[in-house]
Amino acid sequence: MADGLRAGQVVLVGMMGSGKTTVGGKLARRLDLEAVDTDTELVAGSGLEIDEWFTERGEAAFRAAEHEVLARVLDHPRTRVVATGGGVVVDAANRALLVEARHTVVWLRASPAFLASRIERKSARRNRPLLGDDPRGALEELDARRRDLYGEVADVVIDIETVMAGEDKPRKTLSRVVADTLERLAMPVQR
């Protein structure tokens, strides 16, 4: 199929704890699209949990598998809402795929302090082996290394702290704001 005829994806990027998976699900419902999550796909396809990938096979193997999943998901014939793992932008080949004009990449941006406050619960740290014993410190370090990379691939940047502040249903509000922003920018969301 010629490139111009392939459906583009709505892709959420951002650090761990920015709510990509939850917001992706809500956004998909709003846009009447299917939702897909690269971490979930990776686990389903391999039978290995994310933390098992890191402990049993190592981060490099995880990143290689993540790249395969991303490439497949971005090439899906229908437009879907794609939630990615926070580290997806580290690989230059992934960034090259994400900047293809047909895709709409939304960066859910937040400070490491805000993200740390959202992933304090131990359950939220499951499947996030990179956080270790000092989630705040790890998030600061990852943010310093990744911030420019998210900026490189993003078509739209949403400051989630501002959007969520004082909201009763912050994730619902966030998904509405993302949907409204895409509509305002007339981003091509085709079914």
Nearer to ligand S3P, 7 or 81 (CB): 81
CA gap 107, 147 in Å, rounded: 10
CB of 140 to ligand S3P, least distance (A): 13
* Interactions with ligand S3P, residue window 128-187 (CB under 6 A): 128-130
Q: Find the shortest distance in angstroms from Cβ 119 to ligand S3P.
A: 8
CA–CA distance, 11 with 31 (Å, rounded to integer) = 13
For ligand S3P, the closer CB: 36 or 50: 50
| Size of the residue set binding ligand S3P (CB under 6 A) | 12
Task: Say whether 18 sits in a helix, a strand or coil.
Answer: coil
From CA 145, how far away is CA 140, in angstroms rounded? 9
Torsion of CA 81, 84, 86, 87, to 10 degrees: -140
In the window 25-64, what residues touch ligand S3P (CB under 6 A)? 39, 50
For ligand S3P, the closer of residues 46 and 127 by Cβ is 127
Provide DSSP, 89-120: GGSHHHHHHHTSTT-EEEEEE--HHHHHHHT-
Site for ligand S3P in 111-130 (CB under 6 A): 127-130
Residues forming contacts to ligand S3P in the complex (CB under 6 A) are 16, 20-21, 39, 50, 85-87, 127-130
